[in-house]
Amino acid sequence: MEPTRIIAVRHGETSWNVDARIQGQTDVGLNDTGRWQARRLGQALAGEPISAIYSSDLGRAQETARSIAETAGAAGAAVIPHQGLRERCFGMFEGKTFDEIHRQWPDQAHNWRKRIPDWQPPEGGESLLQLRERVTRTLHELASRHLGELIVVVAHGGVLDAIYRVATGQEVNAPRTWELPNGAINRLLWTPQGFTLVGWSDTQHLDDAHAPADETTA
């Protein structure tokens, strides 16, 4: 059985990324830098035999995915939104900066920073275990449709973090030692037995040209 090849990318930058403001499932659009990153992604993936492009149904991910489809010349690969690729729900934290959260809810902020696996942000937030289960189930579902093919998955920092942990066998509360930059290219293989990491956090396509001068995570 041939594996499914997966290119997983985090959406381009938003103004809330710049402000270190928690986005979660709040629908925030790309800024100028984010749109530039999305175009550069498409250029970097030009010529790849992309069979399908799956995206979180949030606007910042869909805009990134559409730009990849157009710029990569993958016109035959429709952008397919999937709610299972949404960012983690952060409940009452959404819209707040890290400093605001620490000032207003120090006990809750402590629980968050400790990465307690079953702790949920108040007002409907997801635990790390719930996020991992959702992301893993969604990726298995999507990858199983494309054995022997290449798909692109456009999602969010929390989703990419969950994917990395599953692929490398790390627990949800293990200290993070890997980067999750906006617009990076991450490659994995999928078989029914699970995921294998091939490459992570490739940003070469963002290093050889300059982003908009007037633009400077979550």
Whether the pTM exceeds 0.85: the reply is yes
**Catalytic residue at 87?**
yes
pLDDT tens digits, 84-129 = 999 999 999 999 999 999 999 999 999 999 999 999 999 999 999 9
Distances in whole angstroms, Cα of residue 186 to Cα of each of 26, 32, 199: 24, 22, 6
Given the residues 13, 63, 82, 87, select the one marked as catalytic.
87
Q: Report the chain's mean pLDDT, rounded to a whole number.
A: 93
Given the residues 11, 146, 156, 205, select the one marked as catalytic.
11
Report the CATH fold assignment for 4-182+197-206: Rossmann fold (3.40.50)
pLDDT tens digits, 48-86 = 999 999 999 999 999 999 999 998 866 567 899 999 999
Domain ranges of the chain: 4-182+197-206
Buried b (16+ CB within 10 A) or exposed e, 127-159: bbbbbbebbbebbeebbeebeebbbbbbbbbbb
**Catalytic residue at 82?**
no
Start-to-end CA span in the chain (Å) = 37
